Amino acid sequence: MSIEPSPPKPEIEALLAENRTFPPSAAFAAQANAKKDLYDEAEKDFEAFWARVARERVDWAEPFTTTLEWDLPFAKWFGGGKLNMSYNCVDRHVERGLGSKVAYHWIGEPGDTRTITYADLHREVQKAANALTELGIRTGDRVAIYMPMIPELPIAMLACARLGAPHTVVFGGFSAEALAGRINDAEAKLVITADGGWRKGKPAELKPAVDTALAETPSVRHVLVVRRLGDRAPACVMAEGRDVWWHDIVERQAPECPPVPVDSEHMLYLLYTSGTTAKPKVIIHTTAGYLVGTSLTHEMIFDVKPDDVYWCAADVGWVTGHSYIVYGPLANATTGVMYEGTPDTPGWDRWWQIVEDFKVTILYCAPTAIRAFMKQGEALPAKHDLSSLRVLGSVGEPINPEAWLWYHENIGRGNAPIVDTWWQTETGMILITPLPGVTATKPGSATFPFPGIAADVVDGDGASVPLGGGGYLVLNRPWPAMLRGIYGDPARYRETYWSRFPGMYFAGDGAKRDAEGYYWLLGRVDDVMNVSGHRISTIEVESALVDHKAVAEAAVVGKNDPLTGQAIFAFAILRAGREPSEQLGRELREHVAQVIGPIARPKFLLFTPDLPKTRSGKIMRRLLRDIAEGRTLGDTTTLADASVVEAIREHSGSAEEE
């Protein structure tokens, strides 16, 4: 993995000068789920701590006999145990009399709503599981899920989990090509999708992308299709013998399907995330440890109580949705909100309307969303009754103090604690976070490792950096919801996460600790961009650009962006005979959107005659970042031909912004 020093970040110094602290109120602390002794207990013996949590929080079909088997970097948690995830998320709550409790208040973008109780979920998950069985799915078979934010999405995931069939959810914004790659990697037998969903006031069809993808996916036998758009999806064509409507096959199933007990380490799901190569990594998560980690963090960090209305506004297609819309909250029998559409439809106060209508008490979202709301002004949230909100969360990217304070004042009305939660697709659960009621927060800091988690900030040699200094964020000890590897590639798993600093998990993030030990996340230190809280690899976008016939070579860097955290800035060298033009710029952006998905569409595109390279031929991204930011150029002494930079600089004024 290439690790270049991070570019100088003056804003980080400003961040660290941020010394306002927000201690928890006595009233909040008195009623909080998490108390300080959670840290003490976990520190005394972290394995005993997790074992206690696992015994208390999980309904085991067979109890576990070992807590942790750690053969670095391969962990096995709760060995000997058997359980079923969907039983723990649904059945046991119904058995304990919570059948009429709402699991999800679902809100469609056009304004239609559905209320799904735990009893509804119990029935629908079993019917869906029976339908999957009829379609040939057995324990261990992989199922790809490509859906909008509709209730059938968590139902489909739970139906898979009921049978022990690992799912791989592909975010609905990804392209047909990306979907095909993911289906093939997982060798999925079944794709669960919908005719489409509503987005920004319009129907957005999904099935045609599945059809395109399926031209290249020999493993798929059937496609199960939820009807969401009906007549509004004219391009939804059902292939005879292959495609089945959800309402045709699921509705007629018996509402009983016994949960299949699986081993603790049985694979629950696969999820893709961008790494430092063109090919995304397929992260493996397993059952028991993931359930333990997500349910404990959910209850403690969001201070969830039985009558809370909890809304995680992420998409289920990302890990945040897996852990904190589906598995963690359902394991805790929480009432959740699930919203299909975008925050600006029909107006920029859609979220505040939902908070008011459903009396949402806990809101969890990304800084990009908060900054977008800031741009719309205070008047919109002020129009709504947000007094129900009592805890606010942030995830996915560093939150700048200004956005933190805006969130605190305008959404939390000055008295809801903010939990800035650091974690990753790989970590499965939140790892660095305040505990509301315990931790005094500082705007912009994710504060401290969760109980039982051992983090550190190390220098390039892996030596711990004293408080006050910065370096690389590492984790020193296994945790229950950690990834179990990269699917089909144990060598890459070891190499990517465990080789940079032997014995430590290298997260790929830079971090500083202040004099009081607070962690301040500084962004990625590898070739990964973070656009609106979504990870995109520079190399992935570069290969999508080079895949276009007009492009000879491309380089991509992240440019600081006031709204999305980072924006994609692409440099493209054209093949001989091709001329730069606005039209070609549009075509290239569209091409990237087609290969990866619209989220990867470059915001800036610069046609350039050459790229700065080291004498060994490596593109010097650091210089490109300087150019993208309009900064004074850093050291160019290792550059093969210094005039290249000047040539690009001359052009850079003309970088076209979309």
Concatenated DSSP letters of 135-193: TT--TT--EEEE--SSTHHHHHHHHHHHHT--EEE--TTS-HHHHHHHHHHHT-SEEEE
Interaction of residue 398 with ligand PRX, rule CB under 6 A: yes
Interaction of residue 313 with ligand PRX, rule CB under 6 A: no
Q: Closest separation between CB of residue 395 and ligand PRX, Å?
A: 5
Comparison of 246 and 518: residue with beta carbon closer to ligand PRX: 518
Comparison of 303 and 509: residue with beta carbon closer to ligand PRX: 509
Comparison of 88 and 447: residue with beta carbon closer to ligand PRX: 447
Q: Which of the stretches 90-98, 393-401, 485-493, 639-647 binds ligand PRX when contact is defined by CB under 6 A?
A: 393-401
Interaction of residue 397 with ligand PRX, rule CB under 6 A: yes
Strand, coil or helix: what is 590?
Answer: helix
Q: Which of the stretches 100-108, 162-170, 185-193, 392-400 binds ligand PRX when contact is defined by CB under 6 A?
A: 392-400
Q: Closest separation between CB of residue 397 and ligand PRX, Å?
A: 5
What phi and psi, each to the nearest 5 degrees, are found at residue 132? Answer: -60, -40
Residues 493-522 that bind ligand PRX (CB under 6 A): 507-509, 521
Comparison of 224 and 418: residue with beta carbon closer to ligand PRX: 418
Percent helix, strand and coil across the chain, each to the nearest 5: 35, 25, 40
Binding mask 61-80 for ligand PRX (x = CB under 6 A): --------------------
Rounded CA-CA distance 463/346 in Å is: 52
What six digits make up the tokens of 30?
Answer: 């008195």
Interaction of residue 148 with ligand PRX, rule CB under 6 A: no
Residues 263-282 that bind ligand PRX (CB under 6 A): 273
Q: Closest separation between CB of residue 572 and ligand PRX, Å?
A: 26
Give 204's strand partners. Answer: 197
Comparison of 203 and 451: residue with beta carbon closer to ligand PRX: 451
How far from 598 is each of 243, 482, 534, CA to CA, in Å? 26, 29, 12
Q: Closest separation between CB of residue 527 and ligand PRX, Å?
A: 13
Number of residues that bind ligand PRX (CB under 6 A): 22
Question: Hey, what's the torsion of the CAs at 288, 116, 193, 286, to 10 degrees?
Answer: 0
Binding mask 320-339 for ligand PRX (x = CB under 6 A): x-------------------
Indicate left, alpha or beta for 597 from its phi (over 0: left) and psi (-120 to 50: alpha): left
629: exposed, middle or buried (Cβ count in 10 Å: 0-12, 13-18, 19+): middle
Q: Which residues lie below 8 Å from residue 309, measured CB to CB, with a gap of 6+?
A: 105, 335, 336, 337, 358, 359, 360, 361, 362, 388
Comparison of 397 and 514: residue with beta carbon closer to ligand PRX: 397
* C-alpha count within 13 angstroms, C-beta hemisphere, residue 253: 22
Question: Considering just the CA atoms, what is the radius of gyration of the chain in Å?
Answer: 24
Residue at 551: amino acid letter: V
Q: Which of the stretches 119-127, 391-399, 462-470, 631-639 binds ligand PRX when contact is defined by CB under 6 A?
A: 391-399
Residues 408-437 that bind ligand PRX (CB under 6 A): 420-425
Concatenated DSSP letters of 351-418: HHHHHHHHT--EEEE-HHHHHHHHHH-SHHHHTS--TT--EEEEESSPPPHHHHHHIIIIISTTTS-E
Comparison of 396 and 558: residue with beta carbon closer to ligand PRX: 396
Comparison of 164 and 329: residue with beta carbon closer to ligand PRX: 329
Strand, coil or helix: what is 294?
Answer: helix
Residue at 218: amino acid letter: P
Q: Closest separation between CB of residue 455 and ligand PRX, Å?
A: 13
Q: Closest separation between CB of residue 90 and ligand PRX, Å?
A: 25
Interaction of residue 446 with ligand PRX, rule CB under 6 A: yes
Q: Closest separation between CB of residue 530 and ligand PRX, Å?
A: 5
Instruction: State the CB neighbour count (10 A cutoff) for residue 204.
Output: 18
Comparison of 262 and 521: residue with beta carbon closer to ligand PRX: 521
Q: Closest separation between CB of residue 400 and ligand PRX, Å?
A: 10
Indicate left, alpha or beta for 196 from its phi (over 0: left) and psi (-120 to 50: alpha): left
Residues 519-538 that bind ligand PRX (CB under 6 A): 521, 524, 530, 534-535
Rounded CA-CA distance 548/352 in Å is: 42
Comparison of 265 and 509: residue with beta carbon closer to ligand PRX: 509
Interaction of residue 396 with ligand PRX, rule CB under 6 A: yes
Comparison of 151 and 428: residue with beta carbon closer to ligand PRX: 428
Comparison of 424 and 441: residue with beta carbon closer to ligand PRX: 424
What six digits make up the tokens of 308?
Answer: 């809370």
Q: Closest separation between CB of residue 396 and ligand PRX, Å?
A: 5
Question: Where on the chain is the footprint of ligand PRX (CB under 6 A)?
Answer: 273, 319-320, 395-398, 420-425, 446, 507-509, 521, 524, 530, 534-535
